[in-house]
Amino acid sequence: MIGVKEAIPGVTYIPLDKLTEYVAAGELENRTLTEALAGSFKTNAGRVAIASPEGEVTYAQLDDITDRFAAALLQLGMKPLDRVIFQSGNCREVIYTVVGCLKAGLIPVCTLAAHRELEIEYLGRHTDARLHIVQGNDPKFDLPGFALKTKSQIPTMRHVISFLGEKREGILRFEDLIAQPVSAPARQALADVPRDPYQVAVFQLSGGTTGVPKVIPRMQNDYLRNALGSMEAMGLRATDVLFMPMPMMHNAAMICIWLPSLLAGSTFVIPGGMTAETWGEVFSAYRPTFIGMIRALLPRLDEMVTRKLGSLDQVRGAWAPDAARVIRERYGILSFGMFGMSEGLNLYCRADDPEEARDWTIGRPLSRLDEVRLVEPGTERDVAVGDVGEFICRGPYTLRGYYNAPDRNAQAFTADGYYRSGDLMMQREIEGKLYYAFAGRTKDVIDRGGEKINCEEVESAASTHPAISECAVVAMPDPVLGERICAFIVVKSGGAAPGIGELGQHLQALGMAKFKWPERIEAVDAIPLTKVGKVDKATLRKNITSTLSAEAPAKTLQPS
C-alpha cells in the first residue's frame, strides 16, 4: 500500500498522485530508513562503523547497542511516534541514541546543544515531546540540569536521559539502560514496532524567517532517498573513512555524511575536540578518505597540515559547499560543490563533473524527479535563462509543509506545492548539463559559520533591553565564519548604548542561544528606511562593510 498508515495531525504528506509517481519511478522505496540501517549493520557486521577517542565500534556492536537502547525505551513506556528532543555535542552516543529511537519508532527532534529556554520550551510544547536526551558531560553547560528545569515547562515531557555524565536524581542514564542484553519479550516488542516508509522519521529544524525555528517533518523513505543519493553522488564505498566535525544533529552532517556512511558500510570518525591537535590524532590514526569541510573550518585544517599533526594524503574527496575551489587549489583534493537544506532538496557536483562546474557551481539535483524553477522573488513567474531568480523546488524528498504551521506554509509554498527556499540562484549550462550557482538570499537570515540565524528573532529580543528603542540586525562580513551579527540600535532618550557583554547578558536571561547574540553594536540616531517604509538593510550592510574596511589596517605597499 502506498501512503501513510497513521497520519500525524499537523504533518503535511506528499499528495498520493505524486507519491505514486515517485514510487513507480523507483525514487521512493517501500522500505524505511530504519530497515535500511538494520540491513547495513548485518551486512557489514565485522567492519568498523564508528571510530572515536574512546575506541572503535563495529557494525555488529552498533546493532546490539541500539537494540538495547530501543528496547529500554519501549520498556519505559515510550510509544511509536512519540517525540524526543536531542541536545548534545559530537560523540558516538549521538548515533547510538538517534538510531535507537528510530528502532523504537520514536521521532528525534534535532535541536542544538546551544539552544536554550526560548527554543527548547517552545519546541518541546510544539512537538508534544515526551523525552529529552542530553549529553551529561558538556564542559561548557549543565545540559542535564537544564533539561530538568525545562521538563517542568513542557506538559508532555516524561523523562530525561543523559549519557557520559554522572548519576543525578531525576535523570536516567543511557549507560544503565543498555547494561542488560535484550530479553526475548523485549526482542518481540521491537519486532512489533510498526514500520511505515511514508511516516515521519525525524523532525529537523529550519533556520526560520520569523520567530523560533520551524519544524520540518522528514519521512522514512524520503530521508533514506536523500541519504542514498548523497552516498551515490560522493561515490562512497565500504572502504571509505569519513570525517566531518560539524554538529552531528544538523541535517547537513546527518544526511550528507554519517547516515550515508552507515548505509555504505564505511567508517565515520569523530574527533575528540575542535582543535588542530585532536583533528591530527584522527588523521594520523584513521587516514580519512573523504571529508566534509565548510570555509569557516579551513583555518583549523590549515593549522593541522602546517604543523604536520596529520596528513591529507589519503583524502580522495571533499564535500565542500562553500570552499570547493579553495580546497582543490590548496590541497590538490577532488572537491565537490554542493547545496542542501533541511527542508529537503540537495544539489551536488559529482566526481566526473567538469572542473568548472565543481569550482563555480553548487551542482545539480540528486533525483531525476527533483523539480527546480527560478522565479521572480515572491512570485510564480519564471525568470529567463541566465537571470537570477528565487530557487523554488519540489520532489520526492522535499517537504510539503512545516509541522503544524499553516500560516507559515501559506507563505512558504506555491499553490502547486513548490517550496520557496528564499535562496537566489542562476542556471549555468556546462558541457550540456544544467548546474546552479548561488547568488544570495531573499530571506532575512544570517549564515554564521553554517548556523542560520533569523534576524527578526534577534531584533525582537534585543529590543526588550531597557536602553534600546529600535534595533535592526544585519550580517557583517567575516573572513572565518563568512558572516557575523551586527546590531544597529537607536538608544532611548537619556540612555546609554549597552555594550556587547551587557546585551549578551540580557539575551542570556531571555534564554536565547549564544550563537545568536550580536557581536558588534552600532548606535545610530535613526534606522534608515526604504521608500516604502521598510528597514533599509541593504544600506545597513553597506555601512558596516565600509566601517570594517576603514578599520582594517592599511596594507603595506611593497616596492615593485
Question: Which sequence spans correspond to the domains of the chain?
Answer: 35-270, 367-441, 445-548
pLDDT, averaged across the chain: 92
DSSP H helical ranges for 413-499: 455-462
CATH architecture of the domain covering 367-441: Roll (2.30)
Whole-number pLDDT of residue 527: 87
> What stretch of H or E contains 107?
strand 107-110
425 by DSSP, 3-state: which? Answer: strand
Cell of 458: 534577534
Long-range contacts of 181-190 (CB under 8 A, 24+ apart): 181/68, 182/67, 182/68, 182/71, 183/71, 186/71, 186/74, 186/75, 187/67, 187/71, 189/71, 189/74, 189/75, 190/67, 190/70, 190/71, 190/74, 190/103, 190/104
Top-level CATH class of 445-548?
A: alpha beta
pLDDT of residue 452 exceeding 90 = no
pLDDT-derived band at 209, boundaries 50, 70, 90? very low
Q: Give the confidence band of 476 by pLDDT, cuts at 50, 70, 90.
A: very high
Q: In percent, how much of the chain has pLDDT > 90? A: 78
Q: Which residues are 290's β-sheet partners? A: 242, 317
End-to-end CA distance of the chain: 75
Find out whether 133 and 85 touch, Cβ atoms under 8 Å: yes
pLDDT at 143: 97
Q: Is the pLDDT of residue 59 over 60?
A: yes
- Indicate whether 534 pLDDT > 80: no
CA pair distance 111, 447, nearest whole angstrom: 17
Q: Nearest Cα to 353, choosing from 337, 374, 340?
A: 337
Band of residue 556 on the pLDDT scale cut at 50, 70, 90: very low
- The residue with greater pLDDT, 261 or 457, is 261
Look at residue 481 and tell me whether its pLDDT is greater than 50: yes
- Yes or no: domain 35-270 corresponds to CATH 3.40.50.980: yes
> Which range is least confidently modeled, 18-32, 153-167, 414-428, 519-533?
519-533
* Rounded Cα gap, residues 446 and 512, in angstroms: 16
Alpha helices in 104-155, H assignment, sequence order: 117-127, 143-151
pLDDT reading at 557 higher than 70: no
pLDDT grade, residue 560 (50/70/90)? very low
Q: Which amino acid is it at 475?
A: A
What's the pLDDT tens digit per position in 237-270?
A: 999 999 999 999 999 999 999 999 999 999 999 9
**Do 367-441 and 35-270 have the same topology in CATH?**
no
What global pTM score does this model have? 0.86
Contacts of 481 (CB under 8 A, 6+ apart): 296, 448, 449
Q: Which of 79-93, 205-219, 451-465, 522-536 has the highest mean pLDDT?
A: 79-93
